[in-house]
Structure 1
Amino acid sequence: MNIENLLRETLADMAGEERPPAPGRYLLVLDRRPRRRGLALAAASAVAALAIGSTVVVQEMSSRAPADVAGQHNAVPHLVPERRPAVTVTVVEGMRLSQLFKVLSSLTGRPVAEFEKAAKDGTVLGLPPYAKGRLEGFAIPGTYELPPTMNPDEILRAMVARFGQAAEDTDLVDGARRAGRTPLEILTIASIVQAEAGRDEDMPKIARVIYNRLDRKMRLQMDSTVLYGLDKYGTDAKPGDRKSRSPYNTYKRLGLPPGPISSPGDDAIRAALKPASGPWLFYVTTDPKKNITKFAASRSDFTKLVQERDKKHGIR
């Protein structure tokens, strides 16, 4: 009789008993003959364990079980739980997809190419229509505990689902409409703010600089977008970098880049939705070690800030 039939027969027999059998009744068989119920209970236990998500290794599933210390009594086949821990991954604010995929690959053992392939189908991932099928910016920062059985598609879907909650918490869609922008534009602005800001308190001001420049049809001239287009990191683009033909080169192209350049956090998204009030068009990080950024409304004031920065660092 196969295991399935045996399990069915045993459960039917047990249904007629007045009270549940004692746990030890099926853990050890004291007869010399193996009992079918012991075998069936082992099968039932395996089914129950699998149902709650454990990885179970059935070491012996036969009518003959290992002998006890006397070498006479038979024990039922035993199950050894093999619990694989969940994979924990933290998406930090400002992380790019290229960085995230490397982290996920190292934690899961899956090739980076599998995550890249999974990221290409925005519909399967559950991205909102305004994402235009592009995942960058939609893997919302946070810590994720991922079951070890999840494949790249499922992992990325879980992150997109978390984005949906963050979008509700920040009132992204309605807030974007009130700001006269699309949700994708807000996320793009937020990702630039995230990359450019040294301190959270500077984010609303940097967002205002971006809005003021857009409103005046000025080029954004953000080093962070230039470097993203070149797959480089940092916020200090070299003169040669600023000559690139990338669509992310905001020194040459008017308006926002095609999409987010990283995963912005809630503070950056809120800053993009509600920028500070002010006339600023420029900002300079005058003290990078202390993350001190100062803002200017005119080019002459901007020049003074650059001189202040250069003097502090001994640059002539």
Structure 2
Amino acid sequence: MHINTPPRSARGARSTRNTRGPRRAIRLTRRGRIALIATGAVVAGAAVAVPLLTSDDEGTSRPTSLVIPEGRRSAQVYEAVDEALALPAGTTKKSLAKAHLKLPNDAEGNPEGYLYPATYPLGDQSTPEKLLTAMVDTANKKFTGAPVAAGAQRNALNVYQAVTIASIVQAEAATKEDMGKVARVVFNRLERGMPLQMDSTINYALDRSTLTTTTKDTKIDSPYNSYQRMGLPPTPIANPGEEAMQAAINPTPGDWLYFVTVKPGDTRFTADYAEHQRNVAEFGRTRESASKEPQSK
């Protein structure tokens, strides 16, 4: 099952400190989702890999808050913090060791999945360590409470595994309704001993966001290659939000093993491979037709 993301977007203008000007919010912009199909496999969409930073007055004022949308990878969050605090690139990533983040043992110091998407205030005393700590503390409050812990246990998971599934769901599904179904596909494939075959995990391994996954890509030597490796990837592949987490612990009942987004708003789930092939063919026709349409200038 392939999962692809839109092309990598360009970075926006860098925000700078201005202690005299008005202070405004800074936001990571979010793009739409798109889906692809490869032969005999599902391809669905995910959030664009590189967010843009913009401000209300073209970057001349200092932001008062940083908004982290759902589905951002940790590397993107580090870049966003550097941008918001006007720090040299790489500063936030280097600060991890000093942050002493309260991560689960399974994470082995990797905060992927635990940099919770939310709005975080920025002040004169804001530092990368403080922002990362706030994100992880928020994730722990959301993830370690009784409802999530009980939901994970009900599905024979620990919380870290549930967060990992939620990160895949976040990358795969375009709507809240689809999230529950995508989660069910993950569970059904795991229970049947089928590889997940998600392009989102390969894109994560290759640190990219692309529309095309080649046969060569599916043979890379990586624990995140869900074509070659069974089970879940070793860590989450992004930082999921609350809806994706709820889907991971409360998957929609169903026997689905395949899904494909034929066109925006039309994602089809099935347990029948022949039906899936027909859906794939329809997607191919839709995509080919769209590619022939004249491009607007």
Report 1:11-30 matches (<5 A).
Answer: none
Select which of 293, 296, 300 maps to 2:267.
Answer: 293
Q: What do the CA deviations read for 1:121-169 (whole angstroms, capped 9, x no partner)?
A: 67x1122334332101101111100223222212111111111222256
Report 1:1-316 matches (<5 A).
Answer: 87-120=64-97, 124-168=100-144, 171-234=147-210, 236-287=212-263, 290-314=264-288
Stretches of structure 2 that go unaligned for 5 or more consecutive residues are 1-18, 20-60, 290-297
Q: Please say if residues 87 and 148 of structure 1, whose CA atoms lie closer than 8 Å, have aligned partners that are also in contact.
A: no
Q: TM-score, normalization: structure 2? A: 0.72
Give the C-alpha shift of residue 236 in structure 1.
4.5
Higher relative contact order (CA 8 A, sep 6+): 2
1:276/1:143 CA distance change after superposition, 3 Å: same
Q: What do the CA deviations read for 1:89-139 (whole angstroms, capped 9, x no partner)?
A: 1110111111111111111122343311233567x1122334332101101
Distance 1:205 1:235 in 2: 22
Distance 1:291 1:234 in 2: 21
Give the C-alpha shift of residue 238 in structure 1.
2.8
Q: TM-score, normalization: structure 1? A: 0.68
Q: Please say if residues 120 and 131 of structure 2, whose CA atoms lie closer than 8 Å, have aligned partners that are also in contact.
A: no
1:140/1:170 CA distance change after superposition, 3 Å: farther
Give the C-alpha shift of residue 291 in structure 1.
3.5
Size of the aligned set, in residue pairs, is: 230
Distance 1:130 1:221 in 2: 23
1:115/1:95 CA distance change after superposition, 3 Å: same
- State, as a whole percentage, how many aligned pairs show the same letter: 38
Q: What do the CA deviations read for 1:199-229 (whole angstroms, capped 9, x no partner)?
A: 2210000000000000011000001111111
CA RMSD of aligned residues (A): 2.2
Distance 2:139 2:207 in 1: 24
Q: Please say if residues 284 and 306 of structure 1, whose CA atoms lie closer than 8 Å, have aligned partners that are also in contact.
A: yes
Opposite residue 300 of structure 1, the aligned amino acid is A
Distance 1:235 1:256 in 2: 22
**Matched position secondary structure for 2:132:** helix
Q: What do the CA deviations read for 1:258-283 (whole angstroms, capped 9, x no partner)?
A: 11111111110000001011111000
Q: Please say if residues 204 and 237 of structure 2, whose CA atoms lie closer than 8 Å, have aligned partners that are also in contact.
A: yes
Q: What do the CA deviations read for 1:152-205 (whole angstroms, capped 9, x no partner)?
A: 212111111111222256822222112101111111110001001122210000
Q: Please say if residues 89 and 145 of structure 1, whose CA atoms lie closer than 8 Å, have aligned partners that are also in contact.
A: yes
Which structure features the higher share of helix residues?
A: 1
Distance 1:180 1:244 in 2: 30
Distance 1:220 1:246 in 2: 14
Distance 1:278 1:309 in 2: 23
Q: Please say if residues 120 and 134 of structure 1, whose CA atoms lie closer than 8 Å, have aligned partners that are also in contact.
A: no
Structure number with larger C-alpha Rg: 1
**Matched position secondary structure for 2:288:** coil
Q: What do the CA deviations read for 1:261-315 (whole angstroms, capped 9, x no partner)?
A: 111111100000010111110001111xx24210110221211111111122338
Opposite residue 99 of structure 1, the aligned amino acid is Q
